[in-house]
Structure 1
Amino acid sequence: MWLDAFDPADVGPLLELYYAEPAPDEKMRRPVRRPWNLAALDEQESTAQARLSHAFAASWNRTCAVRVSELIPPCWPQHEQLAQELAVMVWSWYYAHLDERAAPFTAVEFRTRYVVAFRTRLPKTLGDNGLLCQENQHDQRWREAVDKQLEDFEQRMRDDQADQDATWRVSSLDFGFAVERA
C-alpha cells in the first residue's frame, strides 16, 4: 500500500490531525482529534478516511488475504467494528512505514503483530454469517439477533431496580483502600 495511491486531498487534512499537538492549555480539557477515531471526525474528514480505508482494504485483499475468510468484503462500511478496525490499520500502517519515527522494526512489528491480530479479528467483525460477506453476499440482517438481544438488555437495565442496587453494592467495594465518597 502506497500513500500516493490515495487522493492528496484526502490525505492532507487527515495528516494534519495525525500530527496535531494539543495546545498547552487544552491538554487536560479536550483530547486531540485523531484520524483513526471515526467518532471525532467531521463529515469531510470521515469521507476522506472512508476512502483511505477503502484503498487499504483493496490493498489488503490483493497482498495479505490468502483465504476467502481473510478478505475484507465490499460491505465493510456496514460493519461498524470493521470500519473502526480499518481506520486504525490504515494509521498503524502509516506509522510503521511512513511516519518520521518509522524504522525496520516498526514495519516488522506491523507485519508480525498487527496484521496477524487483524486476521484473527476480521471474521468476528462480520458476524456469524461473515463468510457470506466475504463471498459478496452480504445479509442485511447480519446483526438482527444481536440488536434484538441488545434491545432486551437495555430495556431490562432501564426497568430493573435490582441491577441499580447491585451496582451500588459493587461501587461501595474499596478492597481495603478506604476510598472517600463525596
Structure 2
Amino acid sequence: MTTTSITLFAPFPDQPADLAEYAAARSAEDAEAYGPPPWDIGALPEDLRASLLGWLDTVCRWLNQTYTWQPQHAIPPCWQEHEHLGYEIAALAFARADAYEDAGSAVVWHEQYTRFQARMSEALGKVGDECRVGRHEPRPARFQLDAWPPRLSADW
C-alpha cells in the first residue's frame, strides 16, 4: 500500500521581521505618531509595502491550501491586481495573527473569513473564474471609471 505524505495543519505564515517590528512599535501607546496601521497597504512606505505584499502572497497560498475546497473560494494568483482584495487580505492576515489569542476570537475570525470569501466571489464575478486559473482580466467596470470627468480641483 502506498501512502502520500500531505502536510496537514501547516502553521500560519510568520510576518517578516521588519513588518513585525513595525506592527509591534505601532501597538505601543504612541501608535498614531508612529505611522499608519500595517494593514493599510496604500498608506505604508514603499519598503514596508513590498514586505507586506510578499507576506500576503504567502498568506494567500496558506489560505488556499488550508481552507479552499470550492473553486469560487480560491483567492486568485493575481490578487494583487485586484486592489480591493489586497486591502481585505491584509486586514484578514493581521486579524488572523491576533485571533488565536483565545478560542472565541478564532471562531469570530473564521466567520469573518467566510464573509470575505462571499464578498470576493461576488466582487470578482465571472471574471474570477478566469483569474483563478491564471488568466487575469482587467477590471470589467474600467470603462465606467474612465468615463468620470477629471477633477475640477486638486483640493478634494
Q: What's the TM-score once normalised by structure 1's chain length? A: 0.68
What secondary structure is seen at the aligned counterpart in 2 of 1:155? coil
Residue 135 of structure 2 is aligned with which of 134, 137, 149?
137
- Structure (1/2) with the larger helix percentage: 1
1:132-171 to 2 correspondence within 5 Å?
Answer: 132-139=130-137, 142-143=138-139, 145-152=140-147, 154-155=148-149, 158=152
5+ residue gaps, structure 2: 1-9
Task: Give the residue type in structure 2 aligned to 1:11.
Answer: P
The alpha-carbon distance between structure 1 residues 22 and 148, as it changes in their structure 2 partners (threshold 3 A), is farther
Q: Is the 8 Å Cα contact of residues 11 and 48 (structure 1) preserved in structure 2?
A: yes
The alpha-carbon distance between structure 1 residues 147 and 22, as it changes in their structure 2 partners (threshold 3 A), is farther
| Offset, 1:123 | 1.6
Percent identity, aligned pairs only, is: 23
Is 1:43 aligned with 2:41? Answer: no
Flag the structure with more relative contact order, 1 or 2, with Cα contacts below 8 A and sequence separation at least 6: 2
5+ residue gaps, structure 1: 159-182
Indicate the residue corresponding to 2:17 in structure 1. 12
| Offset, 1:75 | 0.9
The alpha-carbon distance between structure 1 residues 17 and 127, as it changes in their structure 2 partners (threshold 3 A), is farther
Q: CA RMSD in A?
A: 2.3
| Offset, 1:12 | 2.2
Q: Is the 8 Å Cα contact of residues 76 and 128 (structure 2) preserved in structure 1?
A: no
CA distance in 2, matches of 1:156, 1:42: 27
Task: Give the residue type in structure 1 aligned to 2:70.
Answer: R
Is 1:122 aligned with 2:97? Answer: no
Indicate the residue corresponding to 2:93 in structure 1. 90
The alpha-carbon distance between structure 1 residues 31 and 44, as it changes in their structure 2 partners (threshold 3 A), is closer
1:78-98: CA deviation from partner (whole Å, max 9, x where unpaired): 11111111111110100102x
| Offset, 1:15 | 2.1
| Offset, 1:13 | 2.1
Q: What's the TM-score once normalised by structure 2's chain length? A: 0.78
1:48-87 to 2 correspondence within 5 Å?
Answer: 48-87=51-90
Q: Is the 8 Å Cα contact of residues 123 and 130 (structure 1) preserved in structure 2?
A: yes
CA distance in 1, matches of 2:54, 2:20: 14
1:76-124: CA deviation from partner (whole Å, max 9, x where unpaired): 1111111111111110100102xxxx2111111111x211111111123
Indicate the residue corresponding to 2:109 in structure 1. 110
Task: Give the residue type in structure 2 aligned to 1:108.
Answer: V
Task: Give the residue type in structure 1 aligned to 2:114.
Answer: V
Runs (4 or more) in structure 1 with deviation over 6 Å come to: none
